[in-house]
Amino acid sequence: MVGRGVATILFTDQVGSTRLRELIGDDGADKIGREHDRIVADAVTSAGGRIVKNLGDGALVVFDSSVDAITAAQRILEGVNVYNRDISEAHRLKLRIGINAGELVTGEDGDVSGLPVAVASRVCEIAGASQIIVTGVVRSLVGRRAKFGFQPLGPYQLKGVVEPVELWAVGAVVVAETQPAETVIPFPEFLRRGVPRLLVGREKQAAAIEAAYGAATDGVRFAVVIGEPGIGKTALVSTWCREAVERGATIVGGRCTPDAALPYQPFIEIARAVLGARPGLIADLGPASGNIAQLVPGVVTQVTLPPPVQADPDTTRYLMAEAFARLLRADAAGLPVVVVLDDLHWADEHSLGVVAHLARYADDLALLLIGTYRDTDLVRNHPLPQLLTDLRRERRLVRIPVPRLTESEVGELIAARFGAEAPEAVVDSISEETQGNPFF
């Protein structure tokens, strides 16, 4: 169609093509270029578009429909993935795609021009390998016709374009032939090991956790189990969790350790368990899904993801926290998800940031956070007390102190351990020596 008309414009671009040419020479690079042209031609033919021109290391394609354009983009990336499967890292085709829509001019020769074409080209330059970025116009045109899983990237100032342009990344493309099956999220190993043969006492504390769990259907609740080392914090929480899981609760958890080498330590443990069971969830985690996948190597292998976000530290932390929050969105049965964070006095700052972020979802997430910590072991200026104070003010925090065992409970514990009732004098002296701390 010669003249003016509205269309959707798609650019592909080979990431690092100049460098590739240097590395593997012209013949190799040309061969990859031909593969690119073939993959694009196949996808565009099946989705219904017109290739305006091949650009050496990319292509310019126009579509009547924005849905068709995104469908083609996804098929292109699927084709790239299939091609890359048997190709060594250095020779892989890495492609980015940008899509815009607007009024353009089509010449006698079929070439197109106009500002929307230039914007599409700029948008493509912003995308990372395997990423599809579209403008707000395209997003609006798609509307509710198709579920592509758009993730907001915010307004961008594009080179040579005066007004900022709203950009969206299109969700991950699942390339596995069959979607991996969902399995049950495994009960956390540290909780399995934490369950004592018989939990003595602690009825009141268990009831407090139970009440918080019930209340969590209406929004985030945080139960903090507090006490000295060895008093039975992990034993209490483990026992409650094991009973809850038998009633159908979803339990995830992670530990904090004094020598944490990685930020987000407990949440990485959680992500591994959740994604291991439900790999498809990775597509719902937003712009930082690539970062999360990177943190759990080997767990998510069958999807193409946006490249890890490398924004300023605050933005990255926000997007990471958001990704973890999305990971914990209610379980299928609509019951609150239980997130156990053991030994929070050792939590890294990033993990506490995630906790604070989760708390911000107060009313939207059915989530019970259970944290344990030693109030005796908090270093000065640890951010945990402030966080707890904030949550307490919002009446979403339940403090559950774990006191020393009473003398009769010590007796019960000894009986449970040694299978016989101990003479009173023995209980007395043990009780005195251990000060009711079951660890001893």
Footprint on this chain of ligand ADP (rule: CB under 6 A): 194, 196, 199-202, 227, 229-235, 413, 438-439
- CA dist 99 and 22 (Å) reads 29
CB of residue 439 to ligand ADP, shortest distance in Å: 4
Question: Choosing among ligand ADP, Mg ion, none, which partner's interface includes residue 229 (Cβ < 5 to 8 Å by kind)?
Answer: ligand ADP
C-beta closer to ligand ADP: residue 202 or 278: 202
Tokens 């299928």, residue located: 332
What's the burial of 254, exposed, middle or buried (CB within 10 Å: 0-12/13-18/19+)?
Answer: buried
Shortest distance, position 402 Cβ to ligand ADP, whole Å: 7
| Single-letter residue type at 310 | Q
- When CB distances to ligand ADP are compared, the closest residue is 232
CB of 233 to ligand ADP, least distance (A): 3
Segment lying near Mg ion (by CB under 5 A), choices 133-141, 152-160, 231-239, 397-405 = 231-239
Q: Which of 22-30, 34-42, 74-82, 233-241 is the region at the interface with Mg ion (rule: CB under 5 A)?
A: 233-241
Q: Which residues contact 82 (CB under 8 A, 6 or more apart)?
A: 175
State the residue for tokens 């004592």.
196
Instruction: Kindly report the three-state secondary structure assignment for every residue of 319-331.
Output: HHHHHHHHHCCCC
In the complex, what is the shortest distance from the CB of residue 334 to ligand ADP, in angstroms, rounded to a whole number?
Answer: 31
Residue 370 phi, psi dihedral angles, 5° rounding: -115, 115
- Please report whether residue 205 would count as binding Mg ion according to CB under 5 A: no
Measure the CA–CA gap between 63 and 100, rounded to whole angstroms. 10
Beta-sheet pairing, 50-54 with 112-113: unpaired
Task: Closer to ligand ADP by CB, 308 or 403: give it.
Answer: 403
Alpha-carbon 52 to chain mean position: 38
Of 118-126, 216-224, 234-242, 352-360: span binding Mg ion (CB under 5 A): 234-242
79: partner contacted, choices Mg ion, ligand ADP, none (Cβ within 5-8 A by kind)? none
Only one residue has tokens 């911000």, namely: 360
DSSP string, 23-61: HHHHHHHHHHHHHHHHHHHHHHHHHT-EEEEE-SSEEEE
Please say which residue, 180 or 196, places its beta carbon nearer to ligand ADP. 196
User: Residues 84, 234, 250, 291: which binds Mg ion (CB under 5 A)?
Assistant: 234
227 touches, from Mg ion, ligand ADP, none (C-beta below 5 to 8 Å by class): ligand ADP
Residue 49 binding partner per list ligand ADP, Mg ion, none, with a CB distance cut-off of 5 to 8 Å that depends on partner kind? none
Q: Map tokens 């018989």 to a residue.
A: 198
- What pairing do the DSSP bridges indicate for beta strands 337-342 and 250-255? parallel
Instruction: CB nearer to ligand ADP: give 226 or 387.
Output: 226
Kindly state the smallest distance separating residue 342's Cβ from Mg ion, in Å: 6
Q: Which of ligand ADP, Mg ion, none has residue 196 at its interface (CB below 5 to 8 Å by kind)?
A: ligand ADP
d(CA 397, CA 359): 10
Binding segment (CB under 5 A) for Mg ion, from list 92-100, 135-143, 229-237, 293-301: 229-237
CB closer to ligand ADP, 49 vs 266:
266
Tell me which of Mg ion, ligand ADP, none is bound by residue 413, counting a contact when its beta carbon lies within the kind-specific cut-off of 5 to 8 angstroms: ligand ADP
Strands 367-373 and 173-174: unpaired
